[in-house]
Chains A and B, each alone.
Chain A
């Protein structure tokens, strides 16, 4: 049975961009302001779940052919990997560093390794959350 939900579909097409942008913004703002991998990941995951709710699972899975369990695992892999990186440089586990780099055209940028760790956290959150919702929806 298909519900006639033109309004929902149309609104979601616009809103999803805003949600995903907000998620990415929150992710990057986390370094100095409220935000970060966990919160950014939650917002991104809620965007993806909204897509699943609006369209059906098959359509979205055709467009996003990821196994979200593996996304979560990849997240933990990256986050734990940054900790191991510190061990490789003989610093205490989970030490992070940062630096200013000059790029052509965009100029001086402040890059940190914490961002990598946070990316891992974000992927873990997205993967776990979407897996949970999908497994609940399969349970019929």
Chain B
């Protein structure tokens, strides 16, 4: 019995529902939301240790044995993602306490954040592909509300686009699932993987996998990211950071899961396409980041670049590269949240979005300025901060596999990331200050605490890379050998002759 696996899903849902009844009590809402995310973070940490000791854990809902019932599966990869998601949400909530405002708080803001996290955690943990669709929907429904909440004109315009593109993607997802179910007659991921490898991945199945590739690309912002820079910059900073850290990463997670577990047999088609997509994403993302002078847009294009970079690891699919991808994914969730919170704070302090209208922030807010510098170094991948290990491992994997083009694009993108972030740093933080001491807005304390904590996390991930790598290696062992996953899910039902 591993009921602990379901807690990262059920605790946020339960607290979200309780918060609906406490609409008028903002302070209680904050307390409950924060406490439940803290609990989920601790639980996912315990779970991570448990998985390393006991191997893959699973929970059959209602005791229905796979492949008949739905189930949650905790392997190191999914639990690492849950851990990162929970920690990021914890600190984004902390940031939101002092910046989000009464209007959001009385419109169930915390409930929707918790529901979104529940969807995200569910997507990471589920072992059933239809259940993955459901969790995606839970997450997206909540995110639709969070994009539109506030009701400014630009928000409504962008949320309409966001909803439309996601509804289309979800319908295509459903169609792909129907094809998949029609072909292999099961929806349990381990069972699908088993059957696909038994019958060999024939052209029909490869086609299905490519439809899934398109769907997840839309969600992850891989090549099909045209909707992303528009809709990610309109909500309040705390929501932006949550979106940047969680939503695209769920798509990336789904891509990695699909193409390591279920459809790994025809890499010459699927993984070649993934490689092209990853390269293209990096190039286009870099162009976007270079051409923009709006801080929010620059940060949004940085998400796109990192999605491409992470998927290099999946495209070249050596064990080293996959380890790099998992590590970088973990790092990127924390670092992107920090970047968006920092950029959001810049906009809050100055009231401007273009870098040309900000100057000398570091003189007014020294700690804030240096935190930005730290986040920049981490995103570029300077040791000993968190981005370094992931980049090195992906690079090493690409060399092993001989994918020199992707290797070049990946590391060239680091330079572009450095350039685009340095552009903000030089023009907005350095230079003559334009804020006089009288106009200077004080930094909200809770927000500052969350920025500092995230920065500590980044440094911690970098310094503690050795310890984290142990979990990452465990995750990659399962990714590289799908049979471990399949056996863990299906073995005991076989022995009972089901």
Write the residues of chain A forming the contact surface with B, with a CB cutoff of 8 angstroms: 69-70, 73, 76-77, 80-81, 83-84, 86-87, 90-96
In Å, the complex CA distance between A73 and B112 comes to: 12
Is A70 a contact of B20 with CB atoms below 8 Å?
Answer: yes
Interface contact B1-A94, CB-CB below 8 Å: no
B14 within 8 A of A: yes
Whether A92 lies near B13 (C-beta < 8 A) is no
- B63 and A92 contact, CB distance less than 8 A: yes
**Residue contact A90 to B1, C-beta cutoff 8 Å:** yes
- A92→B17 contact, CB < 8 A: no
Beta-carbon contact of A91 and B20 below 8 Å: no
A84-B63 contact given A69-B20, A73-B17, CB 8 Å threshold? no
Does A93 lie within 8 Å of B59, measured CB to CB? Answer: yes
In the complex, B61 has a CB within 8 A of chain A: yes
Chain B residue total in the interface (Cβ 8 A):
15
Using a CB–CB distance below 8 Å, which chain B residues touch chain A? Answer: 1, 3, 6, 10, 13-14, 17-18, 20-21, 59-63
CB pair B17 A91 closer than 8 Å: no
Tell me if B59 and A84 are in contact (CB < 8 A). Answer: no
Complex CA distance for A77 and B22, rounded to whole angstroms: 14
- A sample of 11 cross-chain residue pairs with beta-carbon separation below 8 angstroms, ordered by A number, consists of A73-B17, A77-B18, A80-B14, A86-B3, A90-B1, A90-B3, A92-B1, A92-B60, A92-B62, A92-B63, A93-B62
- Knowing A80-B13, A83-B10, A84-B10 touch, does A95 contact B62 (C-beta < 8 A)? yes
> Given A70-B20, A70-B21, A73-B20, is A93 in contact with B13 using a C-beta cutoff of 8 Å?
no
- One of B3, B17, B59, B61 near A77 (C-beta < 8 A): B17
Q: How far is the CB of B119 from chain A (nearest CB, A)?
A: 14
A83 proximity list for chain B (CB < 8 A):
6, 10
Q: Most B CB atoms within 10 A — which of A81, A87, A90, A96?
A: A87
A96 CB contacts on chain B under 8 angstroms: 62
> Complex: how many Å from CA A81 to CA B20?
16
The residues of B that contact A95 with a CB separation of less than 8 Å are 62-63
Residue in B18, B21, B59 whose beta carbon sits within 8 Å of that of A92 in the complex: B59
CB contact between A91 and one of B10, B13, B63 (< 8 Å): that residue: B63
Give Cα A93–Cα B69 distance, bound, in whole angstroms.
Answer: 12
Cα(A91)–Cα(B1), bound, Å: 7
Return chain A residues, CB-CB under 8 Å to B1. 90-92
